[in-house]
């Protein structure tokens, strides 16, 4: 029952934010300020996380393909697994701890110190002033950061392939276009967008509804971290299932046309 109640409250939160955005718009200057703040604070973390995700994937695939004498395909296999599945999810986990926890703590502090109530008393709408700019900024920044993390994962895999398996850059990159198609890249970017929306929604919702003083803020941060990770896993499963269904549908349509 608590889970259903939380989901219902989150849906109402999204509904109210969407309604305010459609009726009153948003302050673009504030959105750009938030985008710059989130991106500048999280880019080093995302870059390092992406680098090591690609490096770990390369090491794991090296142990498998070396037994079959197929090290030439290491770059394609490692990059494919990283872009399609592992990379977006692991990097999103890192962002949930960096961006999500910070935003939930910031909004929670504003709530328990009655700053949000003060904004409402001054005749302004808290959603228009602080919630929507942060949601849009987190979505835009997280999508860009996740994409940058995937690019760094390719660089990390390339470097570890040279150090760990003795494969040069040309050989590593040669089979990436063979094993990674545009639909695979689109799937990875779509997952990045979905994960960004999930992260932005949960952290602002939890922070906005915090209560109970400093303990309530801490509880909101913990709930943000747990809820975001669970929601990211569910979203990863859902997007993968949707992508497979779309591929089957497109294949059947092409077959009928042929």
Mean pLDDT of all residues in 86-109 = 84
- Convert the pLDDT of each residue in 179-195 to its tens digit: 777 777 777 788 888 88
> Which CA distances in Å does 216 have to 1, 86, 108, 113, 228?
21, 33, 8, 11, 18
pLDDT of 254 = 62
Q: What is the 3-state secondary structure (H, E, C) of 63-115?
A: HHHHHHCCHHHHHHHHHHHHHHHHHHHHHHHHHHHHHHHHHHHHHHHHHHCCH
List of residues 6+ apart from 191 with CB closer than 8 A? 88, 89, 235, 236, 239
Most confident option among 59-68, 130-139, 166-175, 239-248: 130-139
- Convert the pLDDT of each residue in 20-49 to its tens digit: 888 888 888 888 988 898 888 888 888 888
226 pLDDT exceeds 70?
Answer: yes
Burial of 240 (0-12, 13-18, 19+ CB in 10 A): middle
258 pLDDT exceeds 60?
Answer: no
The DSSP call for residue 175 is T
Q: At what angle are helices 132-160 and 101-112 packed, to 10 degrees?
A: 160
pLDDT of 256 = 62
Least reliable range by pLDDT among 52-66, 118-132, 218-232: 52-66
List of residues 6+ apart from 203 with CB closer than 8 A? 96, 99, 100, 101, 103, 104, 107, 138, 224, 228
pLDDT over 90 percentage in the chain: 4
253 pLDDT exceeds 60?
Answer: yes
Mean pLDDT of the chain: 83
Any idea which residue has 């590593």 for tokens? 172
pTM for the complete prediction? 0.83
Mean pLDDT of all residues in 68-92 = 77
Mean pLDDT of all residues in 68-73 = 72
- For CA atoms 90, 192, 229, 233, the dihedral sign is negative
Instruction: State the Cα–Cα distance between residues 173 and 124, nearest whole angstrom.
Output: 54
Least reliable range by pLDDT among 22-26, 77-81, 110-114, 195-199: 77-81
Instruction: State the Cα–Cα distance between residues 246 and 236, nearest whole angstrom.
Output: 15
Any idea which residue has 């079959």 for tokens? 68
Least reliable range by pLDDT among 201-205, 234-238, 250-254: 250-254
Report helix, strand or coil for 168.
coil
243 pLDDT exceeds 80?
Answer: no
Least reliable range by pLDDT among 41-45, 48-52, 168-172, 195-199: 168-172
Query: Residue 240: which pLDDT band, with cuts at 50, 70 and 90?
Result: confident
- Convert the pLDDT of each residue in 113-160 to its tens digit: 888 888 888 888 888 888 899 999 988 888 888 888 888 888 888 888
pLDDT of 205 = 92
Mean pLDDT of all residues in 103-111 = 90
């Amino acid at each position: 029952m608590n889970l259903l109640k939380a989901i219902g409250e989150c849906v109402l939160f999204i509904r109210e934010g969407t309604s305010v955005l459609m009726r009153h718009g948003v302050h673009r200057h504030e959105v750009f300020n938030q985008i710059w703040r989130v991106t500048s604070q999280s880019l080093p973390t995302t870059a390092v996380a992406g680098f090591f995700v690609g490096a770990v994937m390369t090491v794991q695939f090296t142990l498998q393909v070396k037994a079959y004498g197929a090290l030439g395909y290491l770059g394609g296999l490692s990059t494919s697994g990283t872009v399609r599945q592992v990379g977006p999810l692991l990097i999103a986990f890192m962002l949930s701890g960096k961006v999500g926890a910070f935003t939930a703590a910031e909004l929670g502090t504003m709530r328990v110190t009655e700053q949000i109530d003060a904004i409402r008393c001054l005749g302004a709408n808290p959603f228009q002033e602080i919630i929507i700019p942060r949601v849009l900024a987190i979505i835009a920044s997280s999508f860009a950061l996740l994409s940058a993390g995937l690019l760094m994962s390719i660089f990390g895999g390339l470097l570890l392939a040279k150090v760990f398996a003795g494969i040069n850059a040309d050989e590593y990159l040669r089979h990436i276009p063979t094993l990674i198609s545009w639909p695979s890249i689109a799937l990875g970017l779509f997952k990045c967008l979905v994960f960004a929306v999930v992260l932005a929604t949960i952290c602002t919702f939890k922070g906005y509804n915090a209560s109970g003083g400093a303990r309530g803020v801490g509880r909101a941060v913990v709930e943000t971290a747990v809820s975001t990770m669970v929601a990211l896993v569910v979203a990863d499963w859902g997007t993968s299932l949707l992508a497979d269904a779309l591929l089957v549908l497109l294949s059947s349509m092409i077959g009928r046309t042929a």
